[in-house]
């Protein structure tokens, strides 16, 4: 039963990724603008040079059978060899693990994504874990001490933090931290610095991570706190909790053995979803702190109509989100057996 | 369960950190071994080179690095003059068609190989023949042959005598043939050039795209070795952070900043703010669609511009109703100078400063329109054409990525409304703007701008009748006198005579009110006075990242 359930879920996940691969291709080609000219308003770019760029990146080929171009929409011959269309070249390259060459930097997209992915996972991952831990802890305390001063201050604090504009909080922390604590203003490491040992390296990296991670944690802690608090409050009003109290169990035991496990279901969903989106980075935080992550790269690629980079990045995000979702569903069925029997 | 997920994630994070660490740590160690207290200049900027390949690079950050790492035949000084760099002398044939350069002895590439005339001829031929290099063939357009008869002579034969070979050669950086020569065709275009072997006063030590570029001094450079040991360009994706990095001393100089930061930096301790014309000339323009029906491009032209803009009186009235100083004060916070024509003040001797600008005078503007017969016949506050039709309502567009244009559009609309002209404001995606602009001429007014070479030839060509169908002409202006002068100056070998012609051309387009130029923006930079001294701030233009500064600065005592 479980195997069938898991197989079905995995099948759906693969289907979703395939769908995204197709969608990715057409999505960016519906955007107005010519990649051979985007970002370069230099009329000295002669017609021949533009043609050369188009040929080089395969943009001179029809988008797909029957369509020369999608924006502006231009019909074309349907009776051409599909392998001579941009779409099938894209699929063929993808199947052989090729993500293409960035129009902007002339570098392989795979290399660019790889460099940036680690940076993003490091920063956003740390921020996520911190905000999950702090958010859940706050949520548990607030729910247990519901309608007390602790609850209200945690609630107000979380709501305030959650509604702060990310870039604003980031820049305020940046000014404060660099001025008062002499923390680095941006980047991942001090460029050109020499480190006598690995501790020096780690120390420098941690200093650079501190402010962006703090910003991320403050912004996202509210989300986890609020969800934890409300689901736990629901659970705590159940009769079996009253029974547990009547049995004379300690607070900690009630929370640990009876309440938390049942309150975890919504949390697992939100954590899994957020972890999936981790690879997309956080454009605003990465921009404020000049963190060389994926978010900034995607932002830049949109402006330059850098199709290969966008396709690669979106594929990566889609795979991460779908995978995280799959993981959540499988976890769900483990946490709550009703789910796998019902489906 | 949750604990297990967290552990797994933590493990993944830690392994990511560990995987990243060893790749970089040894590099840092080697740095430590080689230098005990080197003088390292840290420069902050808001961009990053797109590529290190001089054939395909577009962004100015890439060119800043090329200037430091490569040598060319000529060097452009901040005052706009040229000096020979790789050659110590040049002979020009009487007909101006053959240039014979005598290359200096003892010039070395950073990898220890000598730079010879063969490398120069190889590079120029590569730039000329490689179709995948989008911009550079423009500079070799008039080069018939480039040859190196021996190790120290380069002979360039031109198809036409041109007055500005210096500006053609400054961006043609000399590449080592022993590296680039082995690349065939497309490989030249795809070459990432991460080693970036050149012969300039700095060599590339370390490069991380979108993070930093670290350059080391070549102390025994044949012209002048830098006094500092290293220069690091660090990218800050946000300009407020850039300013803060300067304040806290994490960088020693910043190449740009938001104008809003300038007043506070002016009073900051140990920081000097400098502003002036930029090294790379640029101009902001108000484009008035004045293409005549007979000049409308037959294939691509839509030519829907308002007929009133064809009338010089209307354009003149708009110029008088444009409060340039107010625009400069509001939009640039004063950091700009009022513009005259498309040729900006940063083009030095070519800029005609004798033209007297149209005064901001609403009454005079109203008078001009009254006299020309444009009256508000229906009393709605907007004038109509002299025949009573077609009210003077102009579409005004600008690129949506411009920070200055929206405010400028509002200011223009406000003063133009005082002379009975209504503007309908709308920002457009740059691509959409290009498609309505030219050669479609499907607009009335566009707020945009140009960047330029140190030679005025290109900007002058934008206003030629021949450029209307090509899409280079944005206004659709056509004037046979102007066209004739352009052809003359393009072959005039006497520099003074050429300057005179270029000035005359500016007068023609100024009198015809082809554009309204609201301002020439200044370059605003700042540096720390307690770290390095010797920054070149009084050489006419402001470009502290230029070799002219980086070669001479030294640690402050």
- ipTM for the complex shown: 0.85
**Tokens coding A342:** 């019902």
- A:192-211 residues touching chain B, CB 8 A cutoff: 192-196, 198, 200-202, 205
Residue A24: inside a domain, yes or no?
Answer: no
HSE-up (13 A, CA, CB side) for residue B236: 29
Query: CA-to-CA distance for A290 and B243, rounded, in angstroms?
Result: 13
- E strands, B60-104, are 74-76, 82-84, 87-92, 98-103
Planar angle of CA B365, B370, B373, nearest 5 degrees: 130
pLDDT in tens, chain B (557 residues): 333 333 333 333 333 333 333 333 333 333 333 344 899 999 999 989 989 999 988 888 999 999 999 999 999 888 888 999 999 999 999 999 999 999 999 999 999 999 999 999 999 999 999 888 877 878 898 999 999 999 999 999 999 999 999 999 999 999 999 999 999 888 898 899 999 999 999 999 999 988 999 999 999 999 999 999 999 999 998 889 999 999 999 999 999 998 889 988 988 999 999 999 998 888 999 999 999 999 999 988 999 999 999 999 999 999 999 999 999 999 999 999 999 999 998 888 899 999 999 999 999 999 999 999 999 998 999 999 999 889 999 999 999 888 889 999 999 999 999 999 999 999 998 778 888 988 899 999 999 988 888 899 989 999 999 999 988 899 999 999 999 999 999 889 899 999 999 999 999 999 999 999 999 999 999 999 999 999 999 988 899 999 999 999 999 98
Q: Which of A113, A108, A152, A157 is nearest to A134 (CA)?
A: A157
Q: Given an 8 Å threshold on Cβ–Cβ distance, is A48 in contact with B12?
A: no
Q: How many CB atoms lie within 10 A of CB B421?
A: 27
Residue A33's pLDDT is what?
A: 65
Terminal CA-to-CA distance of chain B, rounded, Å? 62
Residue A178 is part of a domain; what is its CATH number?
Answer: 1.10.3720.10
Query: CA-to-CA distance for B13 and A209, rounded, in angstroms?
Result: 13
Q: What is the mean pLDDT of chain A?
A: 85
Q: Do residues A135 and A222 lie in contact, with contact meaning Cβ atoms separated by under 8 Å?
A: yes
- Give the best residue of A37, A44, A120 to mutate against chain B (max B CB count within 10 A): A44
Parent domain of A169: 111-342
The count of CB pairs under 8 A between chains A and B is 189
Please tell me the pTM assigned to this model.
0.86
Burial class (CB in 10 A: 0-12, 13-18, 19+), B67: buried
A33 touches chain B (CB under 8 A): yes
A290 touches chain B (CB under 8 A): yes
Q: Given an 8 Å threshold on Cβ–Cβ distance, is B51 in contact with A133?
A: no
Residue A238: inside a domain, yes or no?
Answer: yes
Query: CA-to-CA distance for B141 and B168, rounded, in angstroms?
Result: 9
Q: Do residues B78 and B274 lie in contact, with contact meaning Cβ atoms separated by under 8 Å?
A: no
Residues of B in contact with A200 (CB under 8 A): 28
- The residues pairing with B446 across neighbouring beta strands, listed in sequence order, are B287, B397
Residue B510's pLDDT is what?
A: 97
Residue A3's pLDDT is what?
A: 75
What single string gives the DSSP state of each residue in B317-346?
A: HHHHT--HHHHHHHHSTT-EEE--SSS-GG
- The residues pairing with B398 across neighbouring beta strands, listed in sequence order, are B427
| CA nearest to B438 within chain A | A43
Q: Given an 8 Å threshold on Cβ–Cβ distance, is B2 in contact with A264?
A: yes
Backbone φ and ψ of A52, nearest 5°:
-60, -45
Task: Compute the nearest-CA separation of A201 from chain B (Å).
Answer: 7
Residue A37's pLDDT is what?
A: 62
Is the pLDDT at A131 greater than 90? The verdict is yes
Task: Compute the nearest-CA separation of B399 from chain A (Å).
Answer: 11
Q: Which of A52, A56, A55, A59 is nearest to A35 (CA)?
A: A59
A118 touches chain B (CB under 8 A): yes
Residue range B74-178 forms a domain whose CATH class is alpha beta
Is the preceding peptide bond at A72 cis, omega within 30 degrees of 0? yes
Query: CA-to-CA distance for B433 and B441, rounded, in angstroms?
Result: 10
Rg (CA), chain A: 25
> 3-state SS of B494-511?
CHHHHHHHHHHHHHHHHH
Select from B31, B238, B434 the Cβ nearest to the Cβ of A41.
B434
Task: Compute the nearest-CA separation of A231 from chain B (Å).
Answer: 16
Residues of B in contact with A104 (CB under 8 A): 50
A42 touches chain B (CB under 8 A): yes
Fold topology of B14-69+200-276+524-555: D-Maltodextrin-Binding Protein; domain 2 (3.40.190)
Q: Which CATH architecture has domain B282-454+513-521?
A: Roll (3.10)
The structural domain count of chain A equals 1
Is the pLDDT at A73 greater than 70? The verdict is yes
Residues of A in contact with B53 (CB under 8 A): 106
A93 touches chain B (CB under 8 A): no
Select from A185, A192, A275 the Cβ nearest to the Cβ of B206.
A192
Place of tokens 């411009």: B402
Q: Which of B462, B475, B487, B486 is nearest to B512 (CA)?
A: B475
Residue A271's pLDDT is what?
A: 86
Residues of B in contact with A126 (CB under 8 A): 13
Instruction: Note the maximum CA span of chain A.
Output: 84
**Please, which pLDDT band fits residue A45 given cuts at 50, 70 and 90?**
low
Select from B16, B234, B429 the Cβ nearest to the Cβ of A187.
B234
Residue A96's pLDDT is what?
A: 83
Task: Compute the nearest-CA separation of B31 from chain A (Å).
Answer: 6
Task: Compute the nearest-CA separation of B374 from chain A (Å).
Answer: 36
- Give the best residue of B24, B127, B134, B402 to mutate against chain A (max A CB count within 10 A): B134
Q: Given an 8 Å threshold on Cβ–Cβ distance, is B431 in contact with A32?
A: yes
Strands B40-45 and B230-235: parallel
Q: Given an 8 Å threshold on Cβ–Cβ distance, is B29 in contact with A39?
A: no
A171 touches chain B (CB under 8 A): yes
HSE-up (13 A, CA, CB side) for residue B98: 8
Average pLDDT rounded to a whole number, residues A307-323:
88
Q: Given an 8 Å threshold on Cβ–Cβ distance, is A106 in contact with B234?
A: no
Q: Given an 8 Å threshold on Cβ–Cβ distance, is A125 in contact with B245?
A: no
HSE-up (13 A, CA, CB side) for residue B190: 13
- Domain(s) of CATH 3.10.105.10: residues in chain B: 282-454+513-521
CA-based torsion, A240, A243, A245, A248: positive or negative: negative
A107 touches chain B (CB under 8 A): yes
| CA nearest to A297 within chain B | B210
| CA nearest to A206 within chain B | B17
A73 touches chain B (CB under 8 A): no
Terminal CA-to-CA distance of chain A, rounded, Å? 10
Q: Given an 8 Å threshold on Cβ–Cβ distance, is B25 in contact with A335?
A: no
| CA nearest to A272 within chain B | B5
Task: Compute the nearest-CA separation of A66 from chain B (Å).
Answer: 25
Q: Given an 8 Å threshold on Cβ–Cβ distance, is A122 in contact with B236?
A: no
């Amino acid at each position: 039963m479980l195997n069938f359930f898991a197989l079905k879920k995995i099948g759906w996940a693969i289907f979703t990724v395939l769908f995204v691969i197709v969608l990715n291709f057409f999505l960016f080609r519906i955007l107005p603008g010519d990649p051979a000219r985007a970002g370069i308003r230099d009329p000295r770019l002669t017609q021949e040079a533009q043609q050369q760029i188009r040929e080089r990146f395969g943009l001179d080929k029809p988008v797909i059978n029957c369509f020369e171009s999608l924006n502006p929409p231009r019909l074309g011959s349907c009776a051409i060899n599909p392998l001579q269309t941009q779409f099938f070249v894209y699929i063929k390259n993808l199947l052989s693990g090729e993500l293409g060459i960035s129009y902007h930097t002339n570098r392989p997209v795979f290399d660019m994504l790889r460099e940036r992915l680690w940076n993003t996972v490091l920063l956003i991952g740390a921020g996520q874990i911190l905000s999950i831990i702090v958010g859940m802890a706050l949520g548990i305390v607030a729910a247990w001490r519901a309608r007390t001063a602790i609850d209200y201050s945690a609630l107000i604090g979380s709501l305030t933090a959650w509604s702060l504009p990310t870039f604003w909080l980031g820049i305020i922390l940046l000014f404060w931290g660099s001025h008062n604590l002499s923390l680095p203003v941006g980047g991942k490491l001090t460029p050109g610095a020499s480190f006598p040992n690995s501790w020096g390296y780690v120390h420098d990296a941690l200093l650079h991570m501190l402010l962006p991670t703090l910003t991320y944690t403050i912004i996202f802690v509210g989300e986890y706190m609020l969800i934890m608090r409300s689901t736990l409050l629901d659970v705590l009003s159940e009769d079996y909790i009253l029974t547990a109290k009547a049995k004379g169990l300690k607070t900690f035991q009630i929370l640990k053995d009876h309440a938390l496990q049942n309150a975890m279901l919504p949390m697992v969903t939100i954590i899994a979803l957020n972890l999936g989106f981790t690879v997309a980075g956080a454009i605003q935080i990465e921009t404020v702190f000049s963190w060389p992550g994926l978010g900034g790269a995607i932002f830049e690629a949109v402006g330059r109509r850098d199709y290969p980079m966008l396709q690669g990045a979106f594929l990566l995000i889609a795979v991460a989100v779908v995978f995280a979702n799959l993981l959540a569903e499988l976890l769900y069925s483990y946490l709550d057996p009703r789910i796998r029997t019902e489906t | 369960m949750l604990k297990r997920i967290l552990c797994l994630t933590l493990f993944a994070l830690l392994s990511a950190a560990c995987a990243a660490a060893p790749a970089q740590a040894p590099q840092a160690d080697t740095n430590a071994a080689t230098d005990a207290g080197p003088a390292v200049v840290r420069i902050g900027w808001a961009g990053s080179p797109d590529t290190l390949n001089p054939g395909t690079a577009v962004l100015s950050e890439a060119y800043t690095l090329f200037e430091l790492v490569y040598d060319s035949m000529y060097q452009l000084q901040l005052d706009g003059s040229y000096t020979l760099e790789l050659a110590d002398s040049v002979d020009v044939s009487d007909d101006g068609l053959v240039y014979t350069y005598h290359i200096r002895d003892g010039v070395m590439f950073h990898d220890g190989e000598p730079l010879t005339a063969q490398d120069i001829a190889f590079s120029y031929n590569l730039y000329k023949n490689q179709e995948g290099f989008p911009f550079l063939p423009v500079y070799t357009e008039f080069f018939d042959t480039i040859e190196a008869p021996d190790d120290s002579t380069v002979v360039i034969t031109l198809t036409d005598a041109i007055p500005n070979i210096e500006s053609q050669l400054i961006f043609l950086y000399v590449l080592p043939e022993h590296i680039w020569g082995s690349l065939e065709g497309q490989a030249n275009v795809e070459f990432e050039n991460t080693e970036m072997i050149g012969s300039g006063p700095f060599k590339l030590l370390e490069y991380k795209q979108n993070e930093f570029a670290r350059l080391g001094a070549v102390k025994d450079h044949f012209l002048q070795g830098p006094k500092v040991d290293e220069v690091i360009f660090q990218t800050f994706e946000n300009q407020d952070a850039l300013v803060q990095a300067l304040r806290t001393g994490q960088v020693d100089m910043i190449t740009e900043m938001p104008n809003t930061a300038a007043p506070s930096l002016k009073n900051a301790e140990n920081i000097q703010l400098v502003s002036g014309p930029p090294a790379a000339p640029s101009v902001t323009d108000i484009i008035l669609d004045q293409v005549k029906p007979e000049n409308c491009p037959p294939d691509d032209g839509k030519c829907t511009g308002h007929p009133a803009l064809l009338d010089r009186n209307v354009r003149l009235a708009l110029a008088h109703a444009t409060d340039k100083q107010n625009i400069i004060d509001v939009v640039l916070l004063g950091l700009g100078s009022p513009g005259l024509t498309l040729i900006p003040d940063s083009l030095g001797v070519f800029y005609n400063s004798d033209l007297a600008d149209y005064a901001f005078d609403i009454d005079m503007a109203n008078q001009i329109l009254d006299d020309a017969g444009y009256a508000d016949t229906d009393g709605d506050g907007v004038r109509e054409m002299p025949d009573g039709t077609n009210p003077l309502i102009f579409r005004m567009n600008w690129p949506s990525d411009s920070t200055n244009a929206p405010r400028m559009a509002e200011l223009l609309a406000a003063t133009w409304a005082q002379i009975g002209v209504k503007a309908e404001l709308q920002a457009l995606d740059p691509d959409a703007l290009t498609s309505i602009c030219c050669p479609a001429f499907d607009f009335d007014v566009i707020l945009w701008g140009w960047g330029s070479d140190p030679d005025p030839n290109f900007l002058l060509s934008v206003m030629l009748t021949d450029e209307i169908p090509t899409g280079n002409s944005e206004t659709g202006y056509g004037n046979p006198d102007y066209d004739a002068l352009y052809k003359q100056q393009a072959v005039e070998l006497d520099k003074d005579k050429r300057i005179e012609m270029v000035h005359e051309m500016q007068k023609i387009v100024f009198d015809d009110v082809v554009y309204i130029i609201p301002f020439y923006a200044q370059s605003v930079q700042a540096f720390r006075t307690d770290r390095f001294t010797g920054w070149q701030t009084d050489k006419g233009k402001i470009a502290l990242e230029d070799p002219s500064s980086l070669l001479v600065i030294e640690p402050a005592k």
